[in-house]
Structure 1
């Protein structure tokens, strides 16, 4: 049975999840509180190798179901190797993306059946859900513009999808938010980064002390 605490960060591409994750990690370290930060897809070597296949811009022939199953495989390996053992020890984990990404990207974005994605998520995670999900909401055009201007990140295969596709992904997140308001909390990611970080910390502190 899970003993630790799992917090996930979700949002459209360019919403600033990686920056918020780094800032949260620094905050907890400065306050002598141990947390583990990780990401999906990835986090462990096998899952990182799968990540490279998924995001490689050359893999334009990838079938939608293949994409979903690769994400699910990466998720399971990451959980089995890193997340579940840490939670069993009572540790706190903050993760860049988790189960909601598959629903938003492959369900709403690709048009795959959400019920089947939920089943696969449940199978891969043994029913694990985050204790809290911070959803960083941002207009998709703003997010894609941020990626285009970034010197630290090249556009990957998913970044290069159509604007309409990214809009569907955002709508997927908003649908999940409406369905699970106790787990998901919306953060306005259009604000300056320091305000986004402050709002995220405030939610975590209010929820868990």
Structure 2
């Protein structure tokens, strides 16, 4: 009988280091002999990647909040059906750079749509799938902004929103984590990548075989 897969989602604001820490975790899990699938949201499947392009480089004046939330939910539904659930059924570990809690924090919290609307979309589109553990990377606003600037990349439509919006995102993430301390691991994202990685390994120790 195939051992059940595990689903880990990395969350946090811009510049928190989600991609780096996801890669380090995948390497550590593979070193333990586990099969790991790395993916991202929005994206991960051809359909969801097409929607990603619409979201991050929107046509015209951009999407109103409701349309943006619907597009994220549509991308996630395709991602879950065609990639995440099949991988979990095969007993793989899935590491995802963002999942539904990003929609809850960005569109639901900072965007003002409310948590009920986002969770209802997720229940309909993805049968309410939840990660086994959400790794929420948190850090000082100035330090994260400096890290983001150091990349030297042009901001996409969401990264480029005002600082007030991103503060509201951080507040929303904090509220989600406080409401679900079993589901979330709050990790200090400031420090060397190796130090942050060690904190993450400790936070998922109970899930490891």
TM-score (norm 2): 0.93
1:10 aligns with 2:6: no
Asked if the contact 1:57/1:156 (under 8 Å) is kept, the reply is no
Q: Quick check: 2:34–2:92 contact (8 Å CA) kept in 1?
A: no
Q: Structure 1 unaligned runs (5+)?
A: none
* The 10-residue stretch of structure 1 (24-33 or 63-72) with the greater mean CA deviation from structure 2: 24-33
1:191 is displaced (CA, Å) by 1.9
Aligned residues: 207
CA distance 1:196–1:59, shift in 2 (3 Å): farther
User: Could you say which residue in structure 1 is the equivalent of 2:28?
Assistant: 27
Instruction: Give the match's secondary structure for 1:202.
Output: helix
Gaps of 5+ in 2: none
Q: Deviations over 1:113-159 (max 9, x none)?
A: 211111111112212111111100123333232222104x4311111
Shift of 1:48: 0.7
Offset at residue 59 of structure 1 (A): 5.2
- Residue equivalent to 1:157: 157
Contact 1:132 1:184 in 2 (8 A): yes
Query: CA shift at 1:66, angstroms?
Result: 0.9
Call closer, same or farther: CA 1:115–1:98 in 2, change over 3 Å: same
| RMSD between superposed Cα atoms in Å | 1.7
Q: Report the Cα offset of residue 207 of structure 1.
A: 3.6
Q: TM-score, normalised by structure 1?
A: 0.93
Find the counterpart in structure 1 of residue 86 from structure 2.
85
Instruction: Give the conservation status (yes or no) of the 8 Å contact 1:47–1:74.
Output: yes
